[in-house]
Amino acid sequence: MPEGLIVKALSGYYYVKPDAAAPGETIQCRGRGIFKKKGLSPLVGDRVVYAPTENGEGTVDQILPRETELIRPPVANAKLAVLLFSLKEPDLNLQLLDKFLVHIEHAGLKTLICLTKEDLLEEADDGSTRDLTLKVQEMYRQIGYEVLITSSRTGLGTEEVKSRLAGEISVFSGQSGVGKSSLLNAMLPGLTLETSEISMKLGRGRHTTRHVELIELENGGYVADTPGFSQLDFLELGIEELSSCFREFHDYAEACKFRGCSHLHEPGCKVREAAAEGVIAPSRYEHYVQFHEEMKDKKRRY
């Protein structure tokens, strides 16, 4: 039985790229009814076994074991999350960036942070925003994240991002209107993903990507261009798991006086000490406290 990769899911159909098929070549397949009975659903990024049918289409018969699984966006086997956050229009939102990082850490993916629209700083000659950008870049690099500054308009950082995507499935995600589709268009001449202007009243863009689809790169990589969104919830994450999703807390948490320390009010908490001394960035600890409260509120409601 032939195997392949689901590169698109739309209206009940799965578009499978057979192994060794030419770029862009797919077979339109339906999933077997047994998946629904088992509560399974094939995802974009799944490697599958399929059976060709007489009408030139196919049936997905088996989902091969997944290495990773994201709930939102629904993508299987992604290894790298590329988080795009704009420096201007909309302004850089560190709280939302940290929320995305929590989800990515929980999912077990590697992360590349892209700070987009650098050309808008050049146009505005915005020295204060430029200084902030360098501080933010250094802060996240010290935590252990890879951070690139990019511009789709000038091409800054485009080739570096592209080289990081080689040979694996990556997810492009971030706040709406930050330039995900523009960066993909810049990396792949001939690709014409729809882009949107920013609503200056709302400070955010329209959602231009409406379904998850893998875009094939010539270097063997696949990029999942996913719907942009400006809100994330913590429904799939346990409150006791939150602190483990802040990388810089790990070493300090092991030295806390109490096992299972929440890092909020317990005496002898080394994470709070590090935050008070500025060793842990104030914004990161502040966001941890906010997320903890948000999760407690959700737990009460549900």
Binding residues, as ranges, are 116-119, 174-182, 256, 261, 263, 269
Q: Which residues are annotated as a binding site for Zn(2+)?
A: 256, 261, 263, 269
The H or E element containing residue 6 is strand 3-10
Name the residue among 158, 206, 208, 159 with its Cα closest to residue 183.
158
Residues 102, 201: contact at Cβ < 8 Å? no
DSSP string of 186-208, one letter each residue: HHSTT-------EETTTTEEPP-
Name the residue among 175, 166, 196 with its Cα closest to residue 83.
175
Name the residue among 100, 18, 99 with its Cα closest to residue 60.
18
164, burial (CB in 10 Å: exposed 0-12, middle 13-18, buried 19+): middle
DSSP string of 126-179, one letter each residue: -HHHHHHHHHHHHHHHHHT-EEEE--TTT-TTHHHHHHHTTTSEEEEEESTTSS
Say whether 278 sits in a helix, a strand or coil. Answer: coil
Residues 117, 86: contact at Cβ < 8 Å? yes
Please report how many Cα atoms fall inside a 13 Å half-sphere around the Cα of residue 23, on the Cβ side: 9
CB atoms within 10 A of CB 165: 22
Record the tokens describing residue 275, joined without a space: 């935050």
Q: Which residues are annotated as a binding site for GTP?
A: 116-119, 174-182
